[in-house]
Chain A
């Protein structure tokens, strides 16, 4: 492992990859702070620019955007009480109260330090946990891959508010994945004699449409609250640091282990960290009124969860969040198959990305402490100046992929669909994942059925496949069952 990590650092420390890492964390910070654009949109917009580029550099860039945005979201939580990301909701409770008390700088400072510590701890966890998990999963055959895809789709569907809506969009993604030539039989499906449909609906087209155009349309016209831009003294005092260090440590471990579990992610991690801090506090009544532990714990946990979510994504090919679903799609676009074979066949890429996460976390800390005030000023930027060039970038990016105007028309159509989905809280991430995993799903089903001579028992008699399918069933059934029993529990 030490040798692989050293090789990873050698790759990550090349000038180009270092630049990509810096560009990623900086862009992540920006998109986390700017209104109406998140890490998913940013990665979607950059996908066409990285098409044909070195996969290692591109994934370093995307990973940087992912964990950089976790901190960027903190700025909006603390300064305008509007979480940039759902995982920053808990930070906004005490962070904004601290800002109102003139302690915005300290809140941002402790968030930066906590994010650095949590990011480093969780990257160590990723390094220790992902390779053995991938090794254990090397025994996977077609039925296990089939079950993994089912688990990935159901787990991601369960992350959003409504499992039913998540499943619907996931199945819609699978449905779209059947457009084009069937790779095993050579039959053209749903192409309607159109040459441009024979290659199917492109991952870039759908991702840019949903997370680029759809996000713009759903953000247009929303008012942006005026920020508190008085950010001073970002370094915490000795007493503030003493109050924060244990919440940061607890948040790091909670975040990492919650992030590793499919169907959880950074949002749930930050909720749990906040509740834990409130439970262990000597005076819980301070929470909600500007308690620094209420910022330190959730911030550490949501950053740790970002690295934790990379564990199942890299080792099993099961993403735990919308952004990791897009990174997974990007890996497949580059011809790299995430999952058990990744650490064997593409170990140089994986270890370079892991090494870049150590470097990126350090960059974030160095950048955030002195530049917190500068990033706070970004919140004043009106969205009206941002979205027209974003739309033009979406058009250029999608056109550049295949020089196809039809792709651009699909961008408009799916963009409208993405807007409608976001408007009525239909989660878009399962749709992307369905498209990305559709081919693997179909191939592994066919191979499994051929192995079993047409019997579906193969999925339930092989232990790993059975366990994965049971987890998938639990991911679907648990939320409605919990909702059903909650009133009775509350009544007791």
Chain B
């Protein structure tokens, strides 16, 4: 358990350091200084270097130094990953079947499969929520929400 938590945190540190490295690589191709003042590449370069240093320090302090024994260990990742996958699938479906249908299906999946709620309640809540969102955003705020092949 302790090892798994440390690995997750290590990945996060490395992601920040990786972003910093990427920024440094791109910023070095830009102009860094212009007259007396920094040009477009200067601050991205500084931010990138700072991010690498800070992320590495955080890695050393939190991972190599060990976690506080009294700290609460994070829970399992299965459920959040399932919800994230449902959200991604819902977003992917927006341009294919429209916002309303896509969000309805994503919510229905979450209620029925992830939360194991009854079919009737899941259908009613998903349909009601999707309808309210369409009424607010499309009808009230006038946002052109994507529609599917069947016109909604």
Contact = CB atoms under 8 A, between A and B. Distances in A.
A190 B44 contact: yes
Interface stretch (A74-82, A172-180, A296-304, A461-469): A172-180
A395 B103 contact: yes
Interface string B46-85: 0110110011011001100000000100111001100110
Chain A interface mostly helix, strand, loop or mixed?
A: helix
A178 B12 contact: no
Contact of B54 (A171, A178, A216, A405): A171
A187 B30 contact: yes
A218 to B, nearest CB: 7
Given A172-B51, A222-B75, A420-B12, A403 B90 contact: no
Contacts of B37: 445-447, 449-450, 454
Given A412-B91, A446-B38, A392 B19 contact: no
Contacts of B51: 168, 171-172, 175
Chain B interface mostly helix, strand, loop or mixed?
A: helix
B58 A168 contact: yes
B37 to A, nearest CB: 4
B98 to A, nearest CB: 12
Nearest to A189: B40
Interface size class of B (residues with CB under 8 A): 35 or more
Contacts of B141: 49, 400
Nearest to B144: A403
Contacts of B50: 171
Interface residues of A, number: 61
A400 B137 CA distance: 7
Contacts, number: 176
A221 B8 contact: no
B152 to A, nearest CB: 14
B26 A391 contact: no
Contacts of A343: none
A209 B34 CA distance: 36
Given A168-B55, A221-B80, A405-B95, A415 B36 contact: no
Interface in A397-453: 399-400, 403, 405, 408-409, 411-412, 415-417, 419-421, 423-426, 441-442, 445-447, 449-450, 452-453
Contacts of B35: 450, 454
Contacts of A424: 5, 8-9, 12, 62, 74
Nearest to A403: B144
A396 B99 contact: yes
A150 B134 CA distance: 42
B123 interface: no
Interface string A329-360: 00000000000000000000000000000000
Contacts of B125: 385, 388-389
Interface of B: 5, 8-9, 11-12, 15-16, 19-20, 23, 26, 30-31, 34-41, 43-44, 47-48, 50-51, 54-55, 57-58, 61-62, 71, 74-76, 79-80, 83-84, 87-88, 90-91, 94-95, 99, 103, 106-107, 110-111, 114-115, 117, 125-126, 129-130, 133, 136-137, 141, 143-146
